[in-house]
Homo-oligomer: A and B are copies of this chain.
Amino acid sequence: MELFSFDIQADDPQTAARAATFTTAHGPVETPLFMPVGTRATVKGVQSDRLHELGAQVVLSNTYHLFLRPGSELIADAGGLHAFMNWDRAILTDSGGFQIFSLADTLRVTDNDITFRSIVDGSWHTWTPEDNMRIQQQLGADIAMQLDQCAPYPATREVVAQAVERSIAWAHRCRAAHSRTDQALFGIVQGGVHLDLRLRSVEALAALDFVGYGIGGYSVGESHEEMFQTLPAVAAALPHRRPRYLMGVGNPTTLVRAIAAGVDLFDCVLPTRTARMGTAFSSTGRMNLRNAQYARDFGPLDAACSCDTCRNYSRAYLRHLVTTKEMLGAILLSQHNLHYLLDLTRRARAAILAGEYAAFVDDWMASPAADDY
């Protein structure tokens, strides 16, 4: 297959869902797909051979964090991010724009650049869109994201509109500065909860003919219902034959619904972050393993799950690990939660290929798992 081709195998007859294969320099990526997050070049607590076993096809990492530590030049000298983190399948790097606007304690944004302070050592840094492209090309992921500005929520329409226009301007500059042929560059749609701003963003980015499109600025505090008031129209407005990536969304029910709206890719820290707090996704809804009700429950975490954690360890043991703050608790629950989302997108893909995604959504929404919001 041609590099970065997005080959759609099936368009679901009753929903906007599609099953496709995106070709990268590190293998094919079958969508819809959840992508585990490895912010600092490691999916927290999970070794790369386990990620292989779990069926992970793309791992995310973050330009902001890697730029600060250990530095993009060091990673380039290591042979790029794949060699550095021992991951031989596809990698996507987020540009770091989101982190700068959400984590950095002090910043200055102009049309030309962003100035921000390191959360590590307080040092000051300035990025133009061109700087960001240089850094992401040093990191060497298969998919790079444009530098964008994500407006907070809530924000006035004016603030959101300015973020949209600035992101469009930076999209042009990123597109012009990006030259690495083994790396795809995705534009990022902004516009908050305003459909007209979203569509303005889509139109401007589509004119640049990106390899794929991130849908940013959701899951920043608004309700799920607010998101779904505009998301289907945004997805539908994007080029049909390009992958669509809903950034930062990993709630199981939101995934199921967003796939029906035509989204192909997802990422979220939720599975590993909640695991470290002792929480597991399950077919009967979310479970907090700290709960005393599991103390003498010798059954599997989720009887409907085929992952290593569910096949080999009991709820009572997992609760013991979580309450005693043993690392293995976070490890086993992280693997389970990642399996849960990867399995969910695999099953969604199978349903789309069978032309039965509408029934899949109905079944999901009627199940106890749909309570997981």
Contact = CB atoms under 8 A, between A and B. Distances in A.
A316 B69 contact: no
A47 B317 CA distance: 13
B42 A321 contact: yes
Interface string A309-337: 00011101101110110111011100000
A64 to B, nearest CB: 13
A320 to B, nearest CB: 5
Interface in A20-42: 40-42
| 7 A-B pairs closest in CB distance | A45-B327, A42-B328, A70-B320, A86-B312, A42-B326, A40-B324, A78-B298
A125 interface: no
B77 A298 contact: yes
Interface of A: 40-42, 44-49, 69-70, 74, 77-79, 84-86, 295-296, 298, 308, 312-314, 316-317, 319-321, 323-324, 326-328, 330-332
A347 to B, nearest CB: 25
Given A69-B320, A70-B320, A77-B296, A328 B44 contact: yes
Give the most central of A44, A46, A48, A327: most B CB within 10 Å.
A327
B298 A46 contact: no
Contact of A86 (B42, B45, B317, B324): B317
Contacts of A79: 298
A295 B327 contact: no
Contacts of A324: 40, 69
A79 B316 CA distance: 12
A277 to B, nearest CB: 14
A298 to B, nearest CB: 5
A323 B84 contact: no
Contacts of A308: 49
A319 B40 CA distance: 12
8 contacts: A40-B320, A41-B317, A45-B327, A49-B308, A74-B296, A79-B298, A84-B314, A84-B317
Given A70-B295, A296-B74, A331-B331, A316 B48 contact: no
A115 B62 CA distance: 53
A316 B47 contact: no
Nearest to A330: B327
Given A327-B331, A330-B327, A331-B327, A74 B42 contact: no
